[in-house]
Structure 1
């Protein structure tokens, strides 16, 4: 069995390299010549731990190669994974599936042998069944093209592990004829005890968006309670610890802060709302609009807090933003809360410097108006406020002595609730966290101030 992966972005490049690691001969196909050239040289155009080594290993061994030719792809493989993008198409959140439609059409124009096409992209429910019908119509006479759906559950920063040792596998088929091939592809993971769900197209499609909708809801849920503790008093981290002890709830994804971002959760919850409306289900998923709005509102809170902290600081105060990617161990800045807050502060007239250990170049491409020093020292030099917005390890391990001699004013805002408040207060800093009660002897910002009563403590 030889396998192709069509689309070599984050998902496709990861899947292709991991399939080669599983022992298969693999070809990755993409229409972007520059991307294909880089991958063919063993160079990864994005950051993902452990993946560069895997890519180079199998490009050098010859087990993995890349092409821009769909004819070559069809001739090489009889199992084809579709891993192209499905971006948000419009303001109403509808997913654009034109790339996946186009990829299937282009592939079937060249397939002259029986083949299995396996979708991995996140798509609106109903897409797989429509594509299966398209495949039957477009298949050449004398050939059979079956479709299956195998959603991905990759976490950026852990994508290699999540592919080689997934926490579950989902196979969606219509007739079930593709199941033996799918079991063969993932034989190693299945032999290791990975749970397998075999189901229909629709359930397989919905599993991924349901998972993302639930995670987004869980994050916004704890941030909603953070808004309460910011006004009424209380400590959001202690609250999260307490309810997380309930095995029905669990502690993961109950971290209050500036909220979620990235290329999946925001896009997927908007696309799910749009799809349910198309299905005539009215307000079934309307609660996700509140989840989305609350998530964006946390960014407003951080901006308001910076403005509050720097009131009276003179003309054009300088703000150092620590973090640009939407999460650590990633250079992905799509819908990043950190980069969005930085841009909003810049628009309000602040001088903004952004430091991220990995995402500096991708952030600069998206928001070129901001300043991106190469070091954390360069970013915080002369700063009137330091704002931590991506919880990279080197930021979590900061202590006051690291920054004392660099900043102009000792104001720090911890937008991820990862720093030790007592340590910074003892170090003579003004310190803020979201959803946390003030330390003993320190005054909270009045709730009337911009509607915000985050932990604003004055040393």
Structure 2
């Protein structure tokens, strides 16, 4: 099928390359000329495992191309909208300017038989509003939310755990077209759920709200565990055996960040308030607050280990991305903590396997170094703030010869406290005695 993907950021670039891999003829459209040029050369403008190889393959074989010219979408009959919906600068609500602009720009190039498919995460009610505009051209609209995990985005696109189609009731043609687009995925017996627009919009934000709540729940338990001297990791193991609860996403630590969960739960609350259902989601305000308190607690823990003052202390920060296998530092707890320690007078040297350049664009004043050894040289304390595999595997004995003081703070509960303490280190972590 001939497909266009409007917006080639984290979501759109992966979706465009994956659709080409599935055998479609795809053009990716983006207003950022530099991004278009990089993608056209088969280079991913951000770090996502598997994406560079997928881009190279599909660009080289001619099934995928990129352009900054929206008219290049005219040859396609299925158009995916995958632009960002960031938080508004002055409120919790989602900023829909990019979504509205993408739809408006596409209008001259669609008509009867065309299907426009929303992938962006939007407030409930957006699809219904846009459907009236799209249907005036004779085209149809569907909403097909994404459920990508950064670090696994290619896998989650090509082999998703479910497909959700939001269509106007009775519009069997929209569902049939999406079945054609995803035919090879459906052949794997992937569950397919067909809903109305509102339900499809809610599926994405409800999933994110649930995950955020689960993460903040275990971090709330970590706050209690610290007071009573309990171990939150053992607590999580114990309750995680209950199949109704499950162990995944019960890892206490610095909390969640990135470009989805924080802004999505805030936008969800804002939209619910607009609709008169704000009380139903009032608990998400505390979910957000718990998450942000973890960052403050990490700074306090660092201050404790340093004897009461951060000013002048040499602090090594390992990890800046909001999660491993990503260079995304949007609302990153790790980068936020590093910046706070620097603002309090700490001499911070920070490193990350892939997120140094993205961090430098957001926090240019920090001292970034390439290796763990450079960051930890003569350090008074070492902080592990993103659970990269190479940080989890650090040998305490090897690091001992580099630092000034054997003190390590585990912001992700990803290290073995027994190993570090037996090696003579002061080990502290969130939610553990």
TM-score normalised to structure 1 length = 0.92
Equivalent in the alignment of 2:59: 59
Equivalent in the alignment of 1:442: none
Distance 1:324 1:396 in 2: 15
Check if 1:157 corresponds to 2:151.
yes
CA RMSD of aligned residues (A): 1.1
Alignment partner for residue 339 of structure 1, among 322, 335, 359? 335
1:1-400 equivalence runs, <5 A:
1-74=1-74, 76-112=75-111, 114-137=113-136, 139=137, 144-174=138-168, 175-176=170-171, 177-311=173-307, 316-400=312-396
Inter-CA distance 312–168: structure 2 relative to 1 (3 Å threshold):
closer
Output one character per residue of 1:24-72: Cα deviation in whole Å (capped at 9) or x when no partner: 0000001111111110111110000011000011101111001111112
SS at match of 1:27: strand
236-245 vs 83-92, greater mean Cα deviation? 83-92
SS at match of 1:432: strand
Contact 1:67 1:73 in 2 (8 A): no
* CA drift at 1:92: 2.7
Question: Where do 5+ consecutive residues of structure 2 fail to align?
Answer: none
Distance 2:278 2:110 in 1: 41
Output one character per residue of 1:204-243: Cα deviation in whole Å (capped at 9) or x when no partner: 0000000000000000000101111100121111111111
TM-score normalised to structure 2 length = 0.98
Output one character per residue of 1:272-294: Cα deviation in whole Å (capped at 9) or x when no partner: 00000010113211110000000
* CA drift at 1:314: 8.7
Distance 1:269 1:261 in 2: 11
Distance 1:14 1:80 in 2: 15
Contact 1:399 1:423 in 2 (8 A): no
Inter-CA distance 315–159: structure 2 relative to 1 (3 Å threshold):
closer
SS at match of 1:284: helix
Contact 1:241 1:251 in 2 (8 A): yes
Question: Where do 5+ consecutive residues of structure 1 fail to align?
Answer: 438-459
Inter-CA distance 384–63: structure 2 relative to 1 (3 Å threshold):
same
Distance 2:296 2:69 in 1: 46
Runs of 4+ in 1 over 3 A off after TM superposition: 312-315
Output one character per residue of 1:235-285: Cα deviation in whole Å (capped at 9) or x when no partner: 111111111111111100000011110000000000000000010113211
SS at match of 2:55: helix
Inter-CA distance 315–215: structure 2 relative to 1 (3 Å threshold):
closer
1:427-446 equivalence runs, <5 A:
427-437=423-433
Contact 1:224 1:294 in 2 (8 A): yes
What is the aligned residue count? 431
* CA drift at 1:113: 5.2
Distance 1:280 1:326 in 2: 33
Output one character per residue of 1:3-44: Cα deviation in whole Å (capped at 9) or x when no partner: 000000010000000000000000000111111111011111
Distance 1:434 1:113 in 2: 57
Contact 1:385 1:410 in 2 (8 A): yes
* CA drift at 1:428: 1.0
SS at match of 2:194: strand
Distance 2:196 2:316 in 1: 50
